Structure 1
Amino acid sequence: MSGVTGTTGGLFGGEPLLSVQDLEVTFRTDAGSSRALRGVSLDVHPGETVAVVGESGSGKSTTAAAVLGLLATNGKVTGGRILFAGEDVVTMSASDMARLRGAQMGLVPQDPMSNLNPVRRVGAQIVEALEDNGVAKGAAAQARTVELLEEAGLPDAARRAQQYPHEFSGGMRQRALIAMGLAARPRLLVADEPTSALDVTVQRTILDGLTSLTSRLGVAVLLITHDLGLAAERADTVVVMYRGEIVEQGPARRILQDPQHEYTRRLIAAAPSLASRRIALAKESGDADAAADDLLAPSLGEGAVAVSTPGAPGAPAEPDTIVEVEHVSKVFRLRGRGLFSRGTDFTAVDDVSFTVPRGRTVALVGESGSGKSTVARMMLGLLEPTSGTIRFDGTDVGTGRDRAAEVAFRRRVQPIFQDPYASLDPLFTIYRTIEEPLRAHRAGTAAERRERVHRLMEDVALPTQLLRRYPGELSGGQRQRVAIARALALDPELVVCDEAVSALDVVVQAQILHLLADLQQRLGLSYLFISHDLAVVRQIADVVCVMEQGRIVEQGTADEVFDAPQTAYTRTLLEAIPGRTLELGRAG
């Protein structure tokens, strides 16, 4: 295929630790056999990090599973070889492969919550990995567990080892999986999207720790990711996969600066981290047109938005203001551990004030636990503020509305949540899913609702043939488009997007962001955009409010916040964006 370069052997001397040669993998399905990998070849040398990038369905995770001998029961290697330290793992027995996987190959999977046993203490699970692989037993294994957790960056490791997974944050759970993956000091570590669900600062901490550990131990790393910016920053070699084939591979910086294949250029154009970098470079060079190419939000113009000062009352309602948030706080009562304990108060949102201009996008950004999603739920009327006021179009969003006012509010304000599979009823067809708000609000006749559903499918660029399918039969990007169509069914004026693109790969993410921007321009929608990804926010937001520990610590136009951040916390968030210092070449 055009654009394919040679294998990666030119970067690191000596024999590769892992050599995948002309690999083919076939899956048995109800419709017959399906080839998932075709002629995949790559090398990983000792101490080298090789990143395999591509969108969902490209075959990158299937490649990792084949290397580890963890293909699904209906999958089989039907061609090629996988050599690890000179031995073909394809021909190994299951017991030999299990020993190799435990002692010499480690895995850091994508979703820590589904890969940690929720009813066993974290330390006990690491002890089990050590004992199963013959590294240590008994008291020695327990002591080694604490050391591994400390190496992975967990403070107070001895106490943490006695806790359960649900008592850990997402970043802490990911560190525990890294500790488990490196427990037996493997020669190869396969990291499958290890940070895709984490905010940028935690992501950077995790990857910095992983890089430090693997380089110190001389471990080879096979990194699976959909973000080419992250791959170019962290890997020595990048392998680009598309529809089960490798279309390009080579040194990371060369791939980024001089991509040969059209699909690689598409990935570079789609990656939010690289778009953010292009905007910054264009502004530095004074090329306003180039910067505008990557901006999805229209320019506000000087003085177009009244932005309130953190901790101060929101600006007086202007004709173009659709939402006013004034001095809003939310305090939760946490239960105590003892039977008669009174519990403690936790302030999730602390004296927050901002406005949302009509037809514009305001982004709330910050790390996990900063309070941004709690603000979104209060704006949706799903939580009652402990103090302060939220007004939508001049009317208080809080309790006390009559039934008619509540129904009217629900029609005018709609949410789009992070996980479209969780927010769509798996037993409803796509048609029933989109029609449900219309039916609930008794909007139109059955024929009018049918016409409206078909128009909405056109709006979100989905074929009407999908209307008879169920959510489980759609891709993640298609499900999110369905969620957007459902949110638009009642012609809302405000859409609250709570991490609406964070679960999607970069190509689909770019499509959804462009769709949201296009719908805003055509329909005059206002967005409250909740995100931990500042690279995404840079593209779509007009106004940015930065939250830390429940408070807004900085807010202003996107240009103000990104070009001249005023607080150390904002600078920390910006510095954590992958690829922010990379030199870029052509992307299209």
Structure 2
Amino acid sequence: MSDTPEKTPATLPGSIADDRADDRADDVVLRVEDLCVDFRTENGAARAVSNASLTVRRGQTVAIVGESGSGKTTLAMAVLGLLASNGSVAEGHIWFKDEDLGRVSTQRMAHLRGTELGLVPQDPMTNLNPIMRIGQQIDEGLIDNGLRSRRDARTRTVELLDEVGLPDAGRRASQYPHEFSGGMRQRALIAMGLSARPALLVADEPTSALDVTVQRGILDQLAGLTEDLGTAVLLITHDLGLAAERADTVVVMYQGEIVEQGPARRVLTAPQHDYTKRLMAAAPSLASRRIEIARERGLDDVLDDALLAPGEDGAADGTAAADFLVSVKDVSKVFSIRGSGLLSRSRDFTAVDGVSLDIPRGSTVAVVGESGSGKSTLARMILDIEKPTTGTITFDGVLVGAGGHRDQIAYRRRVQPVFQDPYSSLDPLYSVFRAIEEPLRAHNYGDAAARRARVEELAEQVALSKGQLRRFPAELSGGQRQRVAIARALALSPELVVCDEAVSALDVVVQAQILQLLAGLQEELGLTYLFITHDLAVVRQIADRVLVMQEGRVVEEGTVDEVFDSPATDYTRALLDAIPGKDLELAL
């Protein structure tokens, strides 16, 4: 199939031609017709969205899916009139009810955004004012848009926070964003987005940075509220599994064009475009479901394609302790938390509570759990960044942290991390070459020529070109930056790589590429992985064994098949139930 399908309405099931024939005009909230969006650059106009058409009706959820750079957020921002200053609608129309948004005044557009058009953005920390209380920020929107008087605004704010599921809403309204968890901040943004009871709500990756259980709770809450209000929802996401589960219609975008659209289940069971099939293959949630279906039907070829782990390691079945590269025994970590008042006493907080685990050589052990479960603290202790309060950690039979500075440097050579955000873990002033070379310099690896040869070898291993070695982090995509972080972690030929949410910040296509890369490197170099994640769908693809953590304790442990097929605790079952698309029927 061609990557550039015909753009006539007949080639796009669920397109405008179908809408006009099948639906009353008063049901249509949003109609986008042949939309083209350009951005001015030094080299002339760059087209970000080309000939996009879609319809959203009252009470309907339409999901736009695609990888980063596909144009989905640009399309949404064009609808809201929030394009960057160098962006503009070059062609086409955006009809909101009976108004052409391309022809309304700036004042009218601002009024619509305050009353009829709502937005739930992706990152709550960059969209909430850190020096204003949550309640003040919601009050401000209600007052400025004439929805409530200054006297009545706070009462309405508390009602809104209660509606989105925030406990003790009156007290929470007086708190600052940093006093909220990620899920609570996202709920506050949903309260803002729905405060005017809008006819259309644009939800731009509203849960991409959240745990799967928090994600499910928020999406359930959002679905319930929008259903009660009859609100139309334009959901922007990179996860086709999430879109298929939550949306009535799915619109697939690729390189600024809509390449496929139609009813969500139809797109999922009979995808037409090669890119849609690629998105389906990349989504961890759908990969997890394919593994389950393949096991049920005995489809070994499908199972082999979906699984990235090489199979169960012998050590997982009770091999002698000498075959364990890492052994963690009864480890706890207690932090002292300072009180909020000037005279308040500090209190102890147990982040990790009596955890034990063994990591066999050459295997992948995953530690999963919600935010605050203690999994990242455990990883930092294994990396010798944090010291255990009690318990022991041994690496290759030697106690970690017991030696002097020289022993610590030797340990650093053998154990390396890959963190969640490659941009914050890379020096923005270092070129890619310099970033990968840095550990070689720090550990006195050879001369300049030897280091250059090693950097080029590492770049080739992680599929970075020689030209990219001259670039800086800001000039790379998220996936390319994560490849740099992996190359840097491999520079000293470590035996253990600790991946702390190493793919959670990436879109599903790039995520799949990085997971494939990690699996290939493990097979080629004999690496051992400790994989920290909140996403059980990823675990099913890549891990041999899995530990489930809750509130600092390990509540379940076993092979991936044991934990997925027969979860022993309600908490694990809740994590599994929260995987998007877990009950969907897929085309294998």
Q: Within the alignment, does 1:530 sit opposite 2:532 as a pair?
A: yes
> Secondary structure of the equivalent of 1:415?
strand
Which of 172, 188, 191 aligns to 2:203? It is 191
Which of 21, 24, 36 aligns to 1:14? It is 24
Conserved in 2, the CA contact under 8 Å of 1:107 and 1:189? Answer: yes
> Secondary structure of the equivalent of 1:90?
coil
- 1:218 maps to which residue? 230
Q: Within the alignment, does 1:416 sit opposite 2:418 as a pair?
A: yes
Q: In 1, distance between residues paired with 2:315 and 2:376?
A: 26
- 1:81 maps to which residue? 93
- 1:310 maps to which residue? none
Aligned partner of 1:13: which letter?
Answer: D
Q: Within the alignment, does 1:393 sit opposite 2:393 as a pair?
A: no
Aligned partner of 1:385: which letter?
Answer: P
**C-alpha deviations, 1:433-468, integer Å up to 9, x for none?**
000000111101100100111111100011110111
Matches within 5 A, 1:213-292: 213-292=225-304
**C-alpha deviations, 1:99-138, integer Å up to 9, x for none?**
0111100000000000000000001100001111111122
Matches within 5 A, 1:52-451: 52-300=64-312, 304-306=315-317, 318-398=321-401, 400-451=402-453
- 1:498 maps to which residue? 500
> Secondary structure of the equivalent of 2:321?
coil
Aligned partner of 2:530: which letter?
Answer: L
TM-superposed CA distance for 1:8, in Å, is 4.1
> Secondary structure of the equivalent of 2:92?
strand
> Secondary structure of the equivalent of 2:424?
helix
Q: In 2, distance between residues paired with 1:377 and 1:541?
A: 20
Q: In 2, distance between residues paired with 1:53 and 1:473?
A: 24
Conserved in 2, the CA contact under 8 Å of 1:7 and 1:41? Answer: no
Conserved in 2, the CA contact under 8 Å of 1:323 and 1:357? Answer: yes
Q: In 2, distance between residues paired with 1:33 and 1:530?
A: 43
**C-alpha deviations, 1:382-404, integer Å up to 9, x for none?**
10111000111111113x42222
Aligned partner of 1:322: which letter?
Answer: L
TM-superposed CA distance for 1:290, in Å, is 2.2
TM-score (norm 2): 0.96
Aligned partner of 1:194: which letter?
Answer: P
- 2:478 maps to which residue? 476
> Secondary structure of the equivalent of 1:420?
coil
**C-alpha deviations, 1:519-568, integer Å up to 9, x for none?**
00000000000000110111000010000000000000111111111111
> Secondary structure of the equivalent of 2:316?
coil
TM-superposed CA distance for 1:306, in Å, is 4.8
Q: Within the alignment, does 1:42 sit opposite 2:49 as a pair?
A: no
Q: In 2, distance between residues paired with 1:91 and 1:328?
A: 64
- 1:5 maps to which residue? 12
**C-alpha deviations, 1:411-439, integer Å up to 9, x for none?**
10000000011000000000100000001
Q: Within the alignment, does 1:507 sit opposite 2:504 as a pair?
A: no
Q: In 2, distance between residues paired with 1:438 and 1:337?
A: 44
- 1:25 maps to which residue? 37
Percent of aligned pairs sharing the same letter: 67
Aligned partner of 1:225: which letter?
Answer: T
- 1:466 maps to which residue? 468
Aligned partner of 1:254: which letter?
Answer: R
Q: In 2, distance between residues paired with 1:152 and 1:36?
A: 34
Q: In 1, distance between residues paired with 2:554 and 2:389?
A: 17
Conserved in 1, the CA contact under 8 Å of 2:14 and 2:263? Answer: no
Which of 483, 491, 495 aligns to 1:489? It is 491
TM-superposed CA distance for 1:32, in Å, is 2.4
Aligned partner of 1:497: which letter?
Answer: C
Aligned partner of 2:59: which letter?
Answer: G
**C-alpha deviations, 1:31-81, integer Å up to 9, x for none?**
322110110100101111000000000000000000000000011110001
Q: In 2, distance between residues paired with 1:296 and 1:107?
A: 37
Q: In 1, distance between residues paired with 2:500 and 2:507?
A: 17
Aligned partner of 2:330: which letter?
Answer: H
TM-superposed CA distance for 1:304, in Å, is 3.7
C-alpha RMSD over aligned residues: 1.3
Conserved in 2, the CA contact under 8 Å of 1:544 and 1:558? Answer: yes
Conserved in 1, the CA contact under 8 Å of 2:15 and 2:53? Answer: no
TM-superposed CA distance for 1:339, in Å, is 2.7
> Secondary structure of the equivalent of 1:481?
helix
> Secondary structure of the equivalent of 1:40?
strand
> Secondary structure of the equivalent of 1:26?
strand
> Secondary structure of the equivalent of 2:38?
strand
Q: In 2, distance between residues paired with 1:457 and 1:429?
A: 13
Aligned length: 576
Q: In 2, distance between residues paired with 1:478 and 1:167?
A: 33
Conserved in 2, the CA contact under 8 Å of 1:8 and 1:44? Answer: no
Q: In 1, distance between residues paired with 2:565 and 2:278?
A: 26
Extract unaligned runs of 5+ from structure 2: none
> Secondary structure of the equivalent of 1:80?
strand
Conserved in 2, the CA contact under 8 Å of 1:283 and 1:291? Answer: yes
Aligned partner of 2:23: which letter?
Answer: G
TM-superposed CA distance for 1:341, in Å, is 2.7
> Secondary structure of the equivalent of 2:423?
helix
TM-superposed CA distance for 1:139, in Å, is 2.9
Aligned partner of 1:278: which letter?
Answer: R
TM-superposed CA distance for 1:273, in Å, is 0.2
Q: Within the alignment, does 1:579 sit opposite 2:586 as a pair?
A: no
TM-superposed CA distance for 1:340, in Å, is 3.2
